[in-house]
Structure 1
Amino acid sequence: MFQNSRPHHRFNLLSSLGIFRQDRHPGSLLFDLPWKFLPALCLTLLSLHSCAIKSENPPEEPELEPSRVAIDTQLAFTTTATPEIRTPTETPLPENLIFGLAPRWLAVGEAALASLPAGTFPGSIQLEAMNPTDGQLKSGQIDLALLPDSAGVFVADTVLALAVPWTSEWEQVSREEAEAILNEASPFVAVIEWPEMSPTLKPLRIDGLHPSQPDYPLRTRWSLHAQPGLEDIALALAQALTGVMGDEPVKLTAVGDIMLARGLGEAIHTGDDPYPFAAVEHLLASAELTLGNLESALGDGGQAEAKGYTFLAPSEAAQTLALAGFDVLSLANNHAMDYGSQTLLHAIDLLQAQGVEVVGAGADASRANAPLYIEINGIKLAFLSFVDVPVEVRGFDTHTWVAAEDKAGVAWADPTRMRAGIESARSAADVVIVLLHSGYEYISTPSPPQQHAARLAIDAGADLVIGHHAHIIQGVEFYGDGVIVYGLGNFAFEDSGVNDSGLMHIWLDHAGVRSLEFVPVTLPQDGRPVPADPVRATAIRSYLYSLTRIVDP
């Protein structure tokens, strides 16, 4: 590396020139620089020294006389007259109001007005069938308007459904296809309001979404608009309209036979409580109410009955059923008392302790036949359950288990008792559901006694009959004003037989059954239900639809 050979010198110049004051800055400032820069540095330091002398002795400035500003403050007092206070008067309400709404909502408007609390409006509200606009409201032509927007007081959401026959193989469309159906019409699809859906029809899912789901695309929001000063009346009327238009259905999910003994029972007993229903828990949880048929005794004790097959699920199975989301279980079947009446009563206690209600069995005839009432979304549901199965091949007769006045047991499908129980429930509930354990095992068509009992239930006032016992799928019949689901097969059951099954989503409203949707499942060798793959699901649905055409041609 190149190095300068000339010597460097250090100077304590600042101290010598008086710029660096030793009393303020102990020590010295040293410059280390080559000789050639020394003259320039000296000139710079001399200039700094001159400035320092001037700053220490600044020139004196003449003292200025402070200026004085005299401020004369004058206070002026002004007297004013006390203003006259006027109390604003409220604009009187008109004696008659005109409520504009589309012709399709006239009946809804009439029902809403009839339900208004007394004194809501002292005058009269006249319904005007029209297609009201916000402009008509602002111009004073009408006083109230039900409009398809969200700018006013919320009333309800209405949903359009694209409906096809229930046994149609058509299950869903894309949003683009749905828009084409709406714009161009289709001879194969009916466009109807979701609340007007009939169980003989089914709504097509749009991009996988059902009309009951919030993100379903064919949804319109309605709100109530009013003239200024009518806000309180509008609020009361909107609430009344919501009560009529916003009739939210109850989603019920029904499954077939549940037997939690054998391998499934062993899994539960070893601590794997969720195992039997883990693969379908999301399907069960989507409903507000889930029910099935418990096809086994449940508990830890008792003596097995002398019959062909006896099943005993462990006590922990009560928790398994609750975790899976079951709310109601039928015990009116030919296995509930496989281990005696005391085990039956113990099972009822275990289930109810987990929040699972039971129907169709009890400590005596009164409790075994008693309806179960549950209210959801303002809809009161009644559940009853009965059994009527033939004598077993090996001679066992389930009729010996019938509950009596002083005997625990099950509710038998005696026509007289069935009719009386259903009629009583009909008078106390909006919707009556009957669970019926009947028919022949592994026969796909309903037996004459099975069909007779199911139809009797509908004739007596039931809206829905859900059957089990055959262990295989059976058809659906739309009978009278009700629906009969004859058999949903095994749902959780270790068996060497047919392993195709399913669950039924059912939407209920104040009028009864609104809609049905069948969801196929399959049962592997251990009897645990899993959703069917798309190809298998299509085949299972097609089979159910073909059975339905037989019982409901």
Structure 2
Amino acid sequence: MADEITWDDVERFWQGESDALLNISEDDTTPQLYVSSETREVLEALLGEADPQASLTEADDDEILEMAWEERPHAWSVVPFDELVPRWKVLRIDDVDLFDRDLDLTSYPLAVDIVVEGDTDGELASAMAGEGMQLTNRDTDRMTVLIMTGVTALVRATAHEMELNGVLYPAEYIGPTLQSADLLHISNEIPFAENCPPPDRNSGSLVFCSDPRYIELLRHVGADIIELTGNHFQDYGSQATLDTLEMYREEGWPYYGGGADLEDASKAIEVEHNDNTFSFIGCNPVGPEFAWATAERPGSAPCDYEFMHGELNRLSEEVDVPIATWQYWEFYHYEPTPQQQADFRAMVDAGAKIVSGSQAHHPQAIEFYNDSFIHYGLGNLFFDQMWSIGTRQIVVDRHVIYDGRHLSTELLTYMLENFSQPRPTTDAERRQMLSSIFQASGW
């Protein structure tokens, strides 16, 4: 559950002090450090020879992750940046975030310079010009931070608070995090409508619309990709849906999972950033029928699994990170259902590297399946459900892609306040939320 450590604790651990880094294990057990022989040499260059009392195990590169997982949470490791995988949780050191593209590497204690030596200029040039030679294994020009979110529904009490406090009010605390993404995914379930009535925070109606002015909130947080699998996208009729699509086009935001007709709604979109390529495809298996796009009507994409699996198979050969999301059935518990697991895993089997449940009003489990990442439900982002701890809990997934490969995922946690504002969790709230999610994940 630890999110960060101090460099002082690392040094004390290396010197054999048994009370160092206990926050990793959380039960006063000294964690075991697993490293390769090559990494150990680097650490010895930084820290000197390890004390014989240090809890350290040297292992082959391909064994370290499995060994650490077997011993979790009593294990940690040091691995090269470009060898990270999502099953590793990356810890901040002295509050330094390794994925901050503005990071001054001189402030990061595990940044190591490599020296090339040669007798002549020609030898040096030859060594530096070797095939595949990279001067750094952390080049921010090859890194993409993709943030994915859950339900956005700017209606009812959320919209009421926006009218009282300003359209940007929901983003007061979470805005900077969303804005930091290179690519920000927003799943907006609601159409914008010129004839949308003033919001009623106590309305019992489930027919929703948003004032077109509210698009400024999506613009402010830095939306890049819009998911339209939601089951309320046709609530205000086809004209409002088509007008909303035009608003997205004017903003330059590609959309998927919904569209002007069945073909438009079903298509995958492809996005590129820093030479990392992504595809997004989504669908709505739930309905209701009037929400689904047809050959003559706009709406969300009904799930044609044969088509989606075929597209994912094709896209897995064409892009680095194929992504599947959807408006699945909604469950107000952390555990995925057996059918949910089967359906989400089938997307991975077809070629998806990330599968994300955008439907959830309550966070759900995560799973590493066949070298892919599944999040069964993230919970709400901007929606007014304050009636339980689960519906107030919000997870934002920060995925880091490097050189065409999914390197890491961080679960950012928030709590909904005042029916509209996600705020960062306290330490106790984060612990409770992640404990529930991890338990439901079988960990």
Residue 300 of structure 1 aligns to a residue whose secondary structure is coil
The answer for the alignment partner of 1:375 in structure 2 is 272
Deviations 1:251-277 (A, max 9, x none): 111111111112332454578232111
The answer for the alignment partner of 1:204 in structure 2 is 91
**One of 337, 344, 352 as aligned partner of 1:447:** 337
The answer for the alignment partner of 1:117 in structure 2 is none
> How far apart are the structure 2 equivalents of 1:309 and 1:317?
19
**Is 2:150 the partner of 1:256?**
yes
The answer for the alignment partner of 1:283 in structure 2 is 177
> How far apart are the structure 2 equivalents of 1:239 and 1:398?
55
Change (3 A) 1:244 1:220: closer
Give the conservation status (yes or no) of the 8 Å contact 1:477–1:484.
yes
Deviations 1:326-350 (A, max 9, x none): 2112111211111122211211221
Change (3 A) 1:400 1:456: farther
Deviation at 1:524, TM superposition (A): 1.4
**Is 2:6 the partner of 1:174?**
yes
> How far apart are the structure 1 equivalents of 2:138 and 2:88?
21
Q: Answer with 320-329 or 243-252: which moved more.
A: 243-252
Residue 530 of structure 1 aligns to a residue whose secondary structure is strand
> How far apart are the structure 1 equivalents of 2:78 and 2:262?
48
The code of the aligned residue for 1:289 comes to L
The code of the aligned residue for 1:453 comes to D
Give the conservation status (yes or no) of the 8 Å contact 2:118–2:124.
no
The RMSD of aligned alpha carbons is 2.7
The code of the aligned residue for 1:514 comes to L
Deviation at 1:512, TM superposition (A): 3.9
Deviation at 1:203, TM superposition (A): 1.6
Deviation at 1:229, TM superposition (A): 4.7
Q: Answer with 406-415 or 365-374: which moved more.
A: 406-415
The code of the aligned residue for 2:122 comes to L
The answer for the alignment partner of 1:363 in structure 2 is 260
TM-score, normalised to structure 2, is 0.77
**Is 2:134 the partner of 1:242?**
yes
Deviation at 1:489, TM superposition (A): 0.6
Residue 249 of structure 2 aligns to a residue whose secondary structure is helix
Deviation at 1:462, TM superposition (A): 0.6
The code of the aligned residue for 1:242 comes to Q
**One of 308, 322, 325 as aligned partner of 2:222:** 325
> How far apart are the structure 2 equivalents of 1:353 and 1:436?
24
Deviations 1:410-433 (A, max 9, x none): 212221011122122222211111
The answer for the alignment partner of 2:77 in structure 1 is 190
Aligned ranges 1:111-150 → 2 under 5 Å: none
**Is 2:191 the partner of 1:297?**
yes
Change (3 A) 1:201 1:254: same
TM-score, normalised to structure 1, is 0.62
**Number of paired residues?**
372
Could you tell me which runs of 5 or more consecutive residues in structure 2 were left unpaired when the two chains were aligned: 15-42, 44-49, 58-74, 198-203
> How far apart are the structure 2 equivalents of 1:253 and 1:220?
29
> How far apart are the structure 1 equivalents of 2:216 and 2:251?
6
Change (3 A) 1:347 1:292: same
> How far apart are the structure 1 equivalents of 2:337 and 2:351?
22
Residue 543 of structure 1 aligns to a residue whose secondary structure is helix
The code of the aligned residue for 2:379 comes to G
The code of the aligned residue for 1:429 comes to V
**Is 2:310 the partner of 1:423?**
no
Change (3 A) 1:365 1:227: farther
The answer for the alignment partner of 1:274 in structure 2 is 168
Residue 334 of structure 2 aligns to a residue whose secondary structure is coil
**One of 474, 479, 485 as aligned partner of 2:364:** 474
The code of the aligned residue for 2:285 comes to D
Residue 471 of structure 1 aligns to a residue whose secondary structure is coil
> How far apart are the structure 1 equivalents of 2:76 and 2:138?
25
**One of 520, 525, 538 as aligned partner of 2:431:** 538
Larger-gyration structure (1/2):
1
> How far apart are the structure 1 equivalents of 2:209 and 2:423?
23
Give the conservation status (yes or no) of the 8 Å contact 2:150–2:360.
no
Give the conservation status (yes or no) of the 8 Å contact 2:81–2:138.
no
Deviations 1:263-313 (A, max 9, x none): 33245457823211121111112221111311222222489xxx9612211
Give the conservation status (yes or no) of the 8 Å contact 1:440–1:446.
no
Give the conservation status (yes or no) of the 8 Å contact 2:196–2:210.
no
Residue 230 of structure 2 aligns to a residue whose secondary structure is coil
> How far apart are the structure 1 equivalents of 2:10 and 2:207?
52
The answer for the alignment partner of 1:433 in structure 2 is 323
The answer for the alignment partner of 1:35 in structure 2 is none
Residue 297 of structure 1 aligns to a residue whose secondary structure is coil
Change (3 A) 1:269 1:210: same
> How far apart are the structure 1 equivalents of 2:241 and 2:378?
24
> How far apart are the structure 2 equivalents of 1:271 and 1:236?
57
> How far apart are the structure 2 equivalents of 1:347 and 1:293?
13
The code of the aligned residue for 1:362 comes to G
**One of 191, 205, 230 as aligned partner of 2:122:** 230
Residue 252 of structure 2 aligns to a residue whose secondary structure is coil
Residue 276 of structure 1 aligns to a residue whose secondary structure is helix
The answer for the alignment partner of 2:207 in structure 1 is 310
The answer for the alignment partner of 1:486 in structure 2 is 376
Give the conservation status (yes or no) of the 8 Å contact 2:271–2:278.
yes
The answer for the alignment partner of 1:457 in structure 2 is 347
Q: Which has the higher contact order (CA 8 A, sep 6+)?
A: 2
Deviations 1:109-155 (A, max 9, x none): xxxxxxxxxxxxxxxxxxxxxxxxxxxxxxxxxxxxxxxxxxxxxxx
The answer for the alignment partner of 2:418 in structure 1 is 525
Change (3 A) 1:540 1:443: closer
Deviation at 1:236, TM superposition (A): 7.1
Change (3 A) 1:523 1:302: closer
Change (3 A) 1:255 1:388: same
Deviation at 1:476, TM superposition (A): 0.1
The answer for the alignment partner of 2:69 in structure 1 is none
Residue 296 of structure 1 aligns to a residue whose secondary structure is coil
Give the conservation status (yes or no) of the 8 Å contact 2:233–2:291.
no
> How far apart are the structure 2 equivalents of 1:426 and 1:412?
22
The answer for the alignment partner of 1:514 in structure 2 is 407
Deviation at 1:231, TM superposition (A): 8.3
Deviation at 1:354, TM superposition (A): 2.6
Q: Answer with 324-333 or 176-185: which moved more.
A: 176-185
> How far apart are the structure 2 equivalents of 1:344 and 1:529?
27
The answer for the alignment partner of 1:385 in structure 2 is 282
Residue 203 of structure 1 aligns to a residue whose secondary structure is coil
Give the conservation status (yes or no) of the 8 Å contact 1:329–1:357.
yes
Could you tell me which runs of 5 or more consecutive residues in structure 1 were left unpaired when the two chains were aligned: 1-168, 390-396
Residue 221 of structure 1 aligns to a residue whose secondary structure is coil
Change (3 A) 1:185 1:249: farther
Q: Answer with 464-473 or 441-450: which moved more.
A: 441-450
> How far apart are the structure 2 equivalents of 1:324 and 1:257?
15
